[in-house]
């Protein structure tokens, strides 16, 4: 009886060692896209009223956890029985990310022209503010879903030759770390000004160390938020381009003399521009049909 218990404990210890080792490997493989995930979601989670930032971020975080709950079992089943479907899903997600990145660039250079008879903007009601907030949350959760699929599939690919138990444990740990780590850092970023204000009010002395650090955080936040929009757009195109390069056979080794990151960015931008053209043309056709 005792020997059986010790054998079981030894098996569990061996499994935990394997899980720890493979989690480290999978973490390295997904580190790049986790950085992109951070930039994209930080940009998505910013731009709200100060008192609504953390509630909105918590809503997005809960949506991210729900995304993982949906994606994980589906990913394991598809990987085991229909591996080709995983590639198709990744490419569709890449098309969406490329479109979103290209649309942001298009809107920057060609913002919507104001209508001549456009009425003056009125102060939004609480209901209107909450409606727009919900729309932004849904958009952030959708983007998180696509990025989560990519993270989980990459992590799954690193443990494809391991036992099913090891696969489930490693990929689940990576998925949870992705959500907790990414949104934890996002929470720190969007509350920089609050932390800075508290440091400034920490004492009545002027030019103290806490004052200098606090003023630095307060002044840095607008620049960080502004840069996150740019970084997030670049990240969308890089992630989408990476999906195409790694999952479409004839794109492997495309322009080998150029850096891979440049190829992925340009490919994401080109595909995104094409998808944007198709969608805009489809919208115009639909409007004419409705009229």
Q: Rounded to whole angstroms, how far apart are CA atoms 188 and 215?
A: 16
- Parse the chain into domains and list their residue ranges: 2-111+127-290
Question: Does residue 15 register a pLDDT over 60?
Answer: no
Model pLDDT, residue 47? 64
* Most confident residue range from 1-10, 79-88, 124-133: 79-88
Question: Does residue 266 register a pLDDT over 90?
Answer: yes
Question: Does residue 97 register a pLDDT over 90?
Answer: no
In this prediction the pTM is 0.68
Residues contacting residue 63 through CB under 8 Å, at least 6 positions apart? 137, 140, 141, 144
Model pLDDT, residue 115? 47
Residues contacting residue 71 through CB under 8 Å, at least 6 positions apart? 145, 148, 149, 152, 175
């Amino acid at each position: 009886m005792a020997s059986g218990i010790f054998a079981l404990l030894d098996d569990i210890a061996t499994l935990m060692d394997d899980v720890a080792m493979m989690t480290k490997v999978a973490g390295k493989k997904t580190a790049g896209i986790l950085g992109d995930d951070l930039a994209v979601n930080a940009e998505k989670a910013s731009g709200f009223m100060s008192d609504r930032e953390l509630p909105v971020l918590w809503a997005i975080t809960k949506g991210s956890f729900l995304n993982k709950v949906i994606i994980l079992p589906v990913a394991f089943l598809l990987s085991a029985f229909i591996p080709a479907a995983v590639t198709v899903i990744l490419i569709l997600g890449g098309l969406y990310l490329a479109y979103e990145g290209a649309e942001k660039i298009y809107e920057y250079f060609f913002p919507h022209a104001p209508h001549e008879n456009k009425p003056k903007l009125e102060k939004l009601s609480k209901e209107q503010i909450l409606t727009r907030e919900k729309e932004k949350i849904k958009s952030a959760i959708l983007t998180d879903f696509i990025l989560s699929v990519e993270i989980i599939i990459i992590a799954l690919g690193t443990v494809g030759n391991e036992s099913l138990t090891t696969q489930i444990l490693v990929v689940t740990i990576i998925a949870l770390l992705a959500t907790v780590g990414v949104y934890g850092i996002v929470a720190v970023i969007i509350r920089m000004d609050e932390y800075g204000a508290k440091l400034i009010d920490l004492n009545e002395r002027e030019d103290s160390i806490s004052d200098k650090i606090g003023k630095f955080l307060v002044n840095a936040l607008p620049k960080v938020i502004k840069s996150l929009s740019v970084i997030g757009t670049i990240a969308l195109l890089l992630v989408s381009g990476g999906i195409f390069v790694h999952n479409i056979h004839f794109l492997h080794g495309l322009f080998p003399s150029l850096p891979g990151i440049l190829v992925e960015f340009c490919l994401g931008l080109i595909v995104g521009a094409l998808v944007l053209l198709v969608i805009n043309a489809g919208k115009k056709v639909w409007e004419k049909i409705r009229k």
